[in-house]
């Protein structure tokens, strides 16, 4: 990567000096290479991990035809078409307890849901439609052959790829793998993320606040975001605004971590030592990204470790995380076929004011109006330091570089928080 802190030429917009967010997203994403190391873990430990090799089923699922209902199993061709017909009840099959005989034409076996279909049967009449007289089941005409039976392999076929490599395993995939008898899987190792906050003003929660200080909130936000994304996090505390200490902290972090994430200290203020230290230790791109909240943002490398320098303002930390860091982390963790996070349209009930030539991300509340249509309202003040707005919101409203202020009644793009991670 080029040294580029004085020179924004790759994606520099000469009119504003700002990098469009889409350009920044692409540049970061393209420079990430997936981790290659894998490990084998048991299925309960595999939640949220990324599968390294495609899984194939060695069996049909379900493995045998079975009843979908409680009822009576018969041969479909023996079903009455005009008159009521009696079938002799030979026995009972339960889920996990098959009936081992063979059912003849005018015979039936009582079955419960999940019971293996007895030999000679292919249809189930639900028990509510059957009258029992002694050892006879009386069945009316009008039933369909093959009804209420789940066929072998109708969920998954033997030899079929059930979960692709590069899939992040959700509860559904754990179940799919378990249904084919797989109890251990090979997954990519978790990346290690070292997190620092920077700033002389920062104190730790639990300490007594000194005059002019604030509590560090970014580190807690970032540790939560990274854990939710599936990284192992090393909490490296606060680095003061001091060049030597910044240098020392970053050079020790690079030995422990795949990625180093700092917040604050990446603007061009005189107390912003992160960029200077990065220039000394590795390579760094510093961008003023045309998104609010968000700029500035730094991306680089120290040895083998990736470096992400996020802004200091807490809401900007979250926005840049979602836009730039999370996709990079997913790629690093071996995920393929990254689906973009869903964006839907909702009618604004409050204005969303914006300046031209930059994207804006607003904290908002998505709900439904009296007709059930999606509507979205701002949480109020949108300052990039107002972290409480993130906690009140359940979605972002996204306005693009080219959009203008949205007025009440306009349809706007909404990105619900649920499903972001």
Partner touching 217 among Mg ion, ligand AMP, none, CB below 5 to 8 Å by kind:
ligand AMP
Residue 311 CB, nearest distance to ligand AMP (Å)?
Answer: 5
- Told to check if 264 binds ligand AMP by CB under 6 A, we report yes
Binding-residue pattern over the window 271 to 310 for ligand AMP, x denoting contact by CB under 6 A: ----------------------------------------
Residue (135 or 200) nearer to Mg ion, CB: 200
Query: Which of 121, 167, 180, 197 is the binder for ligand AMP (CB under 6 A)?
Result: 197
Number of residues that bind ligand AMP (CB under 6 A): 18
Residue 274 CB, nearest distance to ligand AMP (Å)?
Answer: 9
Partner touching 350 among Mg ion, ligand AMP, none, CB below 5 to 8 Å by kind:
none
Query: Which of 104, 159, 183, 269 is the binder for ligand AMP (CB under 6 A)?
Result: 269
Q: Which residues sit opposite 92 in a β-bridge?
A: 110
Residue (186 or 242) nearer to Mg ion, CB: 242
* Choices 126-134, 182-190, 264-272, 286-294; region in contact with ligand AMP by CB under 6 A: 264-272
Query: Which of 48, 118, 120, 265 is the binder for ligand AMP (CB under 6 A)?
Result: 265
Which residues of this protein are in contact with Mg ion, per CB under 5 A? 199, 264-265, 312
Alpha carbons 249 and 256: distance in angstroms, whole number: 11
Residue 24 CB, nearest distance to ligand AMP (Å)?
Answer: 17
Which candidate, 97, 110, 102, places its Cα nearest to that of 136? 110
Residue 339 CB, nearest distance to Mg ion (Å)?
Answer: 35
Residue 21 CB, nearest distance to ligand AMP (Å)?
Answer: 18
- Told to check if 218 binds ligand AMP by CB under 6 A, we report yes
Query: Which of 79, 194, 202, 291 is the binder for ligand AMP (CB under 6 A)?
Result: 202
First to last CA, the chain: 29
Alpha carbons 233 and 268: distance in angstroms, whole number: 28
Partner touching 269 among ligand AMP, Mg ion, none, CB below 5 to 8 Å by kind:
ligand AMP
Residue 164 and residue 51 in contact, taking contact as beta carbons nearer than 8 Å? yes
* Residue whose CB is nearest to ligand AMP in the complex, by number: 312
SS (H, E, C) 190-237: CCEEEEEEECCCEECCCCCCCCCCEECCHHHHHHHHHHHHCCEEEEEE
Please state, in angstroms and as integers, the Cα–Cα distance from residue 402 to each residue in 22, 92, 253, 291, 354, following that order.
12, 69, 40, 12, 10
Query: Which of 129, 201, 403, 410 is the binder for ligand AMP (CB under 6 A)?
Result: 201
Residue 205 CB, nearest distance to ligand AMP (Å)?
Answer: 10
* Choices 10-18, 70-78, 199-207, 225-233; region in contact with ligand AMP by CB under 6 A: 199-207
Query: Which of 38, 113, 217, 251 is the binder for ligand AMP (CB under 6 A)?
Result: 217
* Choices 16-24, 74-82, 212-220, 335-343; region in contact with ligand AMP by CB under 6 A: 212-220
Partner touching 388 among Mg ion, ligand AMP, none, CB below 5 to 8 Å by kind:
none
Burial class of residue 111 (count of CB atoms within 10 Å of its CB; 0-12, 13-18, 19+): buried
Query: Which of 20, 199, 282, 416 is the binder for ligand AMP (CB under 6 A)?
Result: 199
Residue (317 or 395) nearer to ligand AMP, CB: 317
Structure tokens at 233: 């996090």
Q: Which residues bind ligand AMP (CB under 6 A)?
A: 197, 199, 201-202, 214, 216-219, 263-265, 267, 269, 311-314
């Amino acid at each position: 990567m080029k040294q580029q802190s004085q020179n924004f030429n790759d994606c520099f917009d000469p009119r504003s000096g700002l990098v469009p967010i889409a350009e920044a997203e692409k540049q970061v994403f393209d420079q990430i290479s997936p981790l290659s190391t894998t490990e084998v873990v048991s299925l309960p430990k595999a939640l949220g991990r990324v599968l390294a090799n495609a899984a194939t089923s060695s069996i049909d699922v379900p493995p045998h035809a079975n009843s979908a209902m409680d009822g009576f199993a018969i041969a479909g061709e023996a079903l009455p078409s005009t008159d009521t017909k009696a079938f002799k009840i030979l026995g009972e099959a339960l889920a996990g307890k098959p009936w081992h005989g063979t059912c003849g034409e005018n015979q039936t076996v009582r079955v419960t849901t999940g019971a293996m279909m007895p030999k000679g049967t292919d249809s189930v009449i639900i028990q509510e439609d059957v009258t029992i007289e002694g050892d006879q089941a009386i069945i009316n005409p009008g039933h369909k052959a093959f009804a209420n039976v789940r066929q072998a392999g109708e969920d998954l076929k033997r030899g079929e790829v059930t979960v692709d490599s590069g899939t992040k395993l959700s509860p559904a995939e754990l179940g799919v793998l378990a249904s084919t008898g797989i109890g251990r899987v090979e997954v990519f190792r978790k990346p290690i993320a070292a997190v620092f906050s920077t700033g002389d003003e920062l104190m730790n929660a639990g300490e007594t606040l000194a005059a002019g200080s604030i509590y560090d909130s970014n580190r807690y936000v970032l540790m939560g975001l990274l854990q939710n994304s599936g990284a192992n996090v090393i909490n490296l505390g606060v680095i003061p605004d001091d060049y030597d200490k910044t240098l020392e902290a970053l050079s020790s972090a690079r030995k422990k971590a795949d990625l180093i994430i700092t917040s604050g200290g990446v603007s061009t203020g005189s107390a912003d030592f992160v960029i200077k230290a990065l220039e000394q230790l590795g390579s760094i791109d510093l961008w003023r990204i045309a998104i609010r909240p968000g700029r500035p943002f730094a991306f680089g490398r120290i040895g083998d470790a990736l470096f992400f320098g996020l802004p200091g303002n807490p809401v900007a930390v979250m926005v840049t995380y979602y836009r730039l860091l999370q996709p990079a982390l997913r790629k690093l963790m071996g995920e393929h076929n990254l689906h973009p996070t869903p964006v839907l349209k909702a009618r604004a009930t409050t204005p969303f004011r914006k300046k031209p030539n930059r994207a804006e991300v607003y904290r908002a509340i998505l709900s439904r109006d009296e007709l059930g249509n999606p509507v979205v309202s701002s949480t109020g003040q949108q300052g990039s330091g107002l972290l409480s707005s993130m906690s009140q919101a359940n979605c972002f409203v996204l306005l693009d570089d080219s959009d203008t202020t949205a007025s009440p009644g306009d349809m706007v793009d909404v990105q619900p928080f649920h499903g972001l991670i």
